[in-house]
Structure 1
Amino acid sequence: MTGFSATGYDSVQSEPADTFRPSHQTAFYADCSIRCSWPVCPQRQLPGSRVMASELNYGTSASVRIDVPVTAVLADFPTPRGEPLDDPVAAVAAALLDPLDFPPMTRSTVPGDQIVLAVDRAVPQAAAVVAGVVHALLDGNAEASDIVIISTDLDPTRLTSLLAEEIRSQISVITHDPRAADALGYLATSQEGKQIRFHRVLLEADVVLPIGTLRLDEGLSYFGINAGLFPMFSDAETIERFRSPGTTSSDVHQRRRSEEAEEAVWLLGSLFTLQVAPGPRDSILHVLAGDARSVAKRGRELCKAAWKHQSPSRAELVVASIEGGPEHQTWDNFSRALFSASRAVRDGGAIVLCTELGCPPGPALQKLTADGTDDQLMQALRRDRSEDAVAAALLVTERRRVHVYLLSHLASEIVEDLGLGYVASTDDVERLSRQFESCILLGNAQHAVLATADE
């Protein structure tokens, strides 16, 4: 678990007089036109060298081709290590039949048990994962009418789309609303003296099966495998406390929240979990089920093997991408990708994020369009509990250190008002890459972490 920087976002210094502010100016880089809001970097003339052609996927099916001298590419990580699963439904069923340090799921239930599947909205191929779980339960002692699915998804019915109609019609599907007080119940008081609340369906269940997404511990805003249950299905006040920029500003704060999540899930009595390791786009690399601590340990090893990369040093330019459909093109993933790229770029360098992001900025990001210094912005963001507060705080921190460019589906005015450089096309990304003497390519950056040998 890692904060925004070595010293946290509180290390933002007083703003110099020449700090850039959005101005909608147009900067010309050789033969490409990229709108930005900072002083233009001088064009670099790279010495003659053999050209390396690399392709970086982003969005649903788009890609950007980058041709740069071989000597300029410090690292090229377009995909994770490992092959995506061909049949995630079968993989889920197999994991439940042979879990880690726990009896098979079919032996952990008795007829008549109410079984609640708590599905993290970030789970890739969620419908396939749910189908695998349901089929495994039906092969045991459960009836379809015993199964309840709870999610924060605004359209939770998509989670049952791969099930037969006669099964789907008997399963209850619930959308969790953290502000619906009548749907919440008190469980206990934590060691820190905070009230622990869950959706009542979880408190009343005989068996709770959390279904979540594994990430690297060093990733931004990752509170461990228990966070897909708590605070996700808790009350609004708790959720907002976890997503405060202050929570992710240091390892200590993140560790405390991870411990709080683990305590809450333990008090709930949920010891069994199912977690998936994400692959490129919407694919799955691994499925793990069993004792929560055993799954966390094995999941950490698998994610490190797949998603932790190393480069000999930081680069002047990092081109990073976010793959996947609209459900992956979010400001949460924007902040994760920016965080990963920021750990690979030199001070004064540039980051290009290739996305299909189309959702408008939330209330915290909109604060970045207001007049005022970065110190004033950070002071306001520390008190912000909006869903995009972490993304806003990270962007304020990083845009002072490096230039950040965004290829997306957002209008140029929106991008520039955030203090980002607007990139209109993949051609501009390719041309921009020629202006730097060193480059790192990082695909699916929302999942990846890059370490450098010189740090």
Structure 2
Amino acid sequence: MPVVTHIHLGDCPPLELSLRDEAWIGCHEPQSPGEAESLDVAAATMAALQQPVGFPPITQAMVPGDQVAIALGADVRQADAVVRGLVAALEWAGAGRESVQVVVGSTAEADTLREQLQDLVQDGCVVIGHTPSDEKALCYLAAVDEVPLLMCRELFEADVVIPVGCGRTAGSYDSRGPYESLYPRFSDTATQRRYEQADALDGPTAVSTRRGETDRAGWLLGASLVVQVVPAPGGGVAKVVAGAPDDVAQAVAEACDSQWVQEVESRARLVVATLAGNEQEQTWDNVARALYAASLAADEDYSAVAICTRIHTPPGKTLRKLMTMNGDLERVASELQGAQTDDAQAAWEIYKALCRGPVYFMSQLDEETVEELGMTHVNSPEELTRLVERSESCLVLNEGQYAVPRFPAHSR
């Protein structure tokens, strides 16, 4: 008897899939947006700051006249509502809107957020886009192993810095804890490029080293109060947590585990991983995250992966290198190692997946582009269904940018 499940793709209605019962391993099947419990994100953010974990209420963390910088990380869902809740909490603590700066990672992000927060901006709240290539936009924070640690000037000069990040499950791709929203996002271009290096996460100590560097940047900046926004299956927000970094990290780990960890009994010959969420979540960075999540549950000897997205962003510099290799994986490895661009890690995860087997890709890119990247173009849900029906064993990871497969202790 066939098993029926659903895949969640972009912000479209769920698509139905069916496959043989004997081939079925499992599916992380979130609620649809209409089924998910609605959370007033602004109110939840304000409440989190009024009763932070492991930290006094925000009224005790500030003095009159303090200048506050909100360091808004990437991939924070409903970021405008989060900022509104933060500003409301700061006003409750006695700060005026004119004393608040919201710092984001680029001028384009600033333009978008400024449009969403027109009323706050009119009352004096400032939205600033960080420019990592501008020396005047950076300040020397400390020397680490004789290398200058540079950070965004607005954060360096603020009396209070509040990092706001996307909460992720421990063990997910490049998860670096409560200061991930700060570093290297608000550092200099050279540091950002180093973190973007294609194979930067492959060394045995790479993950712990990056986590240590990120934590150190937060400590040196004096960011003792942090905010994390936990994404909910179905495209929403599950929880907002504020407080001391270690306490927030623990609370977020528990919340993310309950939302995003999928227990699986065995590895699969085919892993289907989707990117759900709006256009802002349809990125090559999230493709890298989904490919990494798929690799955790894929058969180690041979496996195929199908990445289902709504992405339409053309390949960047390093992805375009894949397009010139004609499937020569040895040449791909030598060309990609050391590449430092914003799409290098996506290219590297595609390469590693191709080393295990075929990669199928559903997107809004044209077939020729996908095939030149070394992947097989999936044109429709019907094609995906046929692929799943032929598979020896199959696992579905919905919202693969967040989902993490784990094996029970007895099956390891």
The structure with the largest helix share of the pair is 2
* Counterpart for residue 378 of structure 2: 423
CA offset at residue 166 of structure 1? Answer: 5.8
Q: How does 1:55-454 map onto structure 2 within 5 Å? A: 55-79=6-30, 84-153=37-106, 154-159=108-113, 163=117, 165=119, 168-190=122-144, 192-346=145-299, 347-371=301-325, 373-453=328-408, 454=411
Distance in 1, Cα, partners of 2:183 & 2:18: 45
2:3–2:21: 8 Å Cα contact kept in structure 1? yes
Q: Which has the higher contact order (CA 8 A, sep 6+)?
A: 1
Distance in 2, Cα, partners of 1:274 & 1:84: 21
SS in 2 for 1:398: helix
SS in 2 for 1:215: coil
Distance in 1, Cα, partners of 2:221 & 2:365: 42
Distance in 2, Cα, partners of 1:87 & 1:280: 16
Q: State the AA in 2 paired with 1:59.
A: G
Distance in 2, Cα, partners of 1:162 & 1:105: 25
Distance in 2, Cα, partners of 1:410 & 1:351: 18
Bigger drift between 366-375 and 138-147 goes to 366-375
Percent of counterpart pairs with the same letter? 33
Distance in 1, Cα, partners of 2:374 & 2:324: 11
Distance in 2, Cα, partners of 1:193 & 1:294: 31
Distance in 1, Cα, partners of 2:242 & 2:38: 16
CA offset at residue 364 of structure 1? Answer: 0.9
Distance in 1, Cα, partners of 2:109 & 2:369: 27
Instruction: Pick closer, same or farther for the CA change 1:168–1:309 going to 2, 3 Å.
Output: farther
2:282–2:311: 8 Å Cα contact kept in structure 1? yes
Instruction: Pick closer, same or farther for the CA change 1:248–1:164 going to 2, 3 Å.
Output: same
CA offset at residue 111 of structure 1? Answer: 2.0
Distance in 2, Cα, partners of 1:399 & 1:106: 53
User: What does the per-residue CA deviation read over 1:377-405, in whole Å, with 9 as the maximum and x for residues that have no partner?
Assistant: 22222221101111111111110212110
Distance in 1, Cα, partners of 2:204 & 2:246: 20
Give the gaps of 5 or more residues in structure 1. Answer: 1-49
CA offset at residue 268 of structure 1? Answer: 1.0
Q: State the AA in 2 paired with 1:428.
A: E
Q: TM-score, normalised by structure 2?
A: 0.93
2:27–2:396: 8 Å Cα contact kept in structure 1? yes
User: What does the per-residue CA deviation read over 1:245-304, in whole Å, with 9 as the maximum and x for residues that have no partner?
Assistant: 332113511211110111111111111100011113541111110001111122112212
Q: State the AA in 2 paired with 1:436.
A: S
Instruction: Pick closer, same or farther for the CA change 1:238–1:70 going to 2, 3 Å.
Output: same
User: What does the per-residue CA deviation read over 1:171-226, in whole Å, with 9 as the maximum and x for residues that have no partner?
Assistant: 11100111111111111112x33211111111110100100011122111222221
1:415–1:421: 8 Å Cα contact kept in structure 2? yes
2:114–2:121: 8 Å Cα contact kept in structure 1? no
SS in 2 for 1:259: helix
Q: TM-score, normalised by structure 1?
A: 0.85
Distance in 1, Cα, partners of 2:391 & 2:398: 19
2:71–2:103: 8 Å Cα contact kept in structure 1? yes
Bigger drift between 58-67 and 423-432 goes to 58-67
SS in 1 for 2:8: strand
1:213–1:277: 8 Å Cα contact kept in structure 2? yes
Q: How does 1:15-34 map onto structure 2 within 5 Å? A: none
Alignment RMSD: 1.9
SS in 1 for 2:387: helix
Q: State the AA in 2 paired with 1:430.
A: T
Instruction: Pick closer, same or farther for the CA change 1:196–1:130 going to 2, 3 Å.
Output: same
SS in 1 for 2:218: helix
SS in 2 for 1:431: helix
Distance in 1, Cα, partners of 2:120 & 2:251: 36
Q: State the AA in 1 paired with 2:399.
A: N
Task: Tell me whether 1:54 sits opposite 2:9 in the alignment.
Answer: no
SS in 1 for 2:386: helix
SS in 2 for 1:228: coil
Instruction: Pick closer, same or farther for the CA change 1:250–1:84 going to 2, 3 Å.
Output: farther
2:270–2:393: 8 Å Cα contact kept in structure 1? yes
1:80–1:307: 8 Å Cα contact kept in structure 2? no
2:182–2:218: 8 Å Cα contact kept in structure 1? yes
Give the gaps of 5 or more residues in structure 2. Answer: none
2:104–2:129: 8 Å Cα contact kept in structure 1? yes
